[in-house]
Amino acid sequence: MSRAPRSAAARRNWGDDESGTSILHVDMDAFYASVELVRRPALRGLPVVVGGGQRSVVLAATYEARAFGVNSAMPMAQALRACPQAVVVAPDHHAYHAVSQGVMDVLRSVTAVVEQVSIDEAFLDVAGARRRMGPPTTIAEHIRTQVRQRFSVTCSVGVAATKFVAKLCSEHAKPDGMLLVPKEATVAFLRTLPVGALWGVGERTEQALARWGVRTVAEIADLDVATLQQMVGKAHGAHLHDLAWGRDPRPVHPGHEEKSIGAETTFEADVADLAVVEAKALELADTCAARLRRAGVVGRTVSVKVRTSDFRTLSRSHTLVSPTDVGREVFLVARRLLAGVDLRGLPVRLIGVRVEALSRAQDVPRQPTLDEAVDGPGRREAEVAVDEVRARFGRQAIGPATTAPGSRLSVSHVR
């Protein structure tokens, strides 16, 4: 869910001229929480929070929970202090991906020019669909109706001349709404917004601008570029000035290319036993590899993230000779990286494994590993077989492998 700054003035009717407004931004409303309410209708109307244990973070919250100040990415312990009566639901990522895929199929039935940017949002360029389906707002209402009827969840849609403004429109349309900003009204719309609404304005940039008395998009637009560049840097200043005037030439790029695939977990209690940390890294490597295979990609760089009990976060990475989508290969690199992390004797709070530098698997000739050259190419085939079992019977049907004494891994076990 979006937590970008909003403006009450921006929610008004900006006119109905749809010429030049072919960009749509579709954003699901409280997506994870909405999917859970479909699965658990008895929870409707209650403050529901999707997340893990108290040491994890909030993935999503219903609007009833948000009324108490609960937001995504908030630590669960803080969320439960803000809303003690919240109903906490453990996440089911398989269910979320299934609904997401269905929603994206709806969008691609409208136009092939769809750029999925996350599991619950996408940009569309509907210029080519207007003759067949009507003006952009009609297409937006069609999408909202189809998503509601087919999946019982809602989405908000922004309609504008650029991607940046379309995204701002969908944020101001939430929940379950649509907002059109005609091309000629773009600058007037932007001038109603706080400076934090601009892409690239984080907390530090916002504070830097505030020291100069700049708090609104209108004030940025009214500055000359050279002055703004003195405040926040040359490239950043030019970028913000362009956005303040509605200049965003980026087209909608069909498809969605993941830049990295990873998984991480926060332990329920800080862990001093490195064997336990290593076992969790094995599980995360297994998860990463399965996601790589499902996405049809391979990765060349493996990285690990470790957060110690004093909240210090350490990262290490290693680039492979050949890209991989095999869990065992990912784990062996991750284990070596973990061994090189100086924990200063502190227990571990969080562990993460990520695979980066992705390429489409079909475009990369696969080189056999040393193990495969000796034992035959059975490791990847075994992991693919596990994928198939989990697809049929659920992820819990087969557990991840466990580390055995020495450098080899024990066989995965059936539950």
- Cα dihedral 102, 362, 281, 404 sign: positive
DSSP string, 47-59: -EEEE-STTSBEE
Q: What is d(CA 37, CA 60) in angstroms, rounded to the nearest whole number? A: 12
Residues in Cβ contact with 79 at an 8 Å cutoff, skipping those fewer than 6 apart: 49, 51, 58, 61, 65, 70, 86
Closest C-alpha to 276, from 208, 190, 364, 338:
338
∠ CA 13-15-20, rounded to 5°: 130
121 is catalytic: yes
Tokens 């650029």 locate to 162
DSSP code, position 11: G
Q: What is d(CA 379, CA 371) in angstroms, rounded to the nearest whole number? A: 9
220 and 244 Cβ atoms separated by less than 8 Å:
yes
- How far is CA 11 from each of CA 14, 79, 179, 184, 322, rounded to the nearest angstrom? 8, 28, 8, 16, 51
Q: What is d(CA 215, CA 231) in angstroms, rounded to the nearest whole number? A: 13
Query: Which residues sit opposite 60 in a β-bridge?
Result: 50
For residue 28, give the amino acid letter: M
Q: Tell me the pairing of strands 121-125 and 155-160.
A: unpaired
Closest C-alpha to 199, from 152, 147, 226, 162:
162
Among 121, 283, 329, 383, which one carries the catalytic annotation? Answer: 121
Q: What is d(CA 138, CA 261) in angstroms, rounded to the nearest whole number? A: 36
Q: What is d(CA 355, CA 302) in angstroms, rounded to the nearest whole number? A: 5
19 and 124 Cβ atoms separated by less than 8 Å:
no
Q: What is d(CA 58, CA 80) in angstroms, rounded to the nearest whole number? A: 10
Helix and strand numbers (H, E) in the chain are 16, 12
- Residues that are catalytic: 121
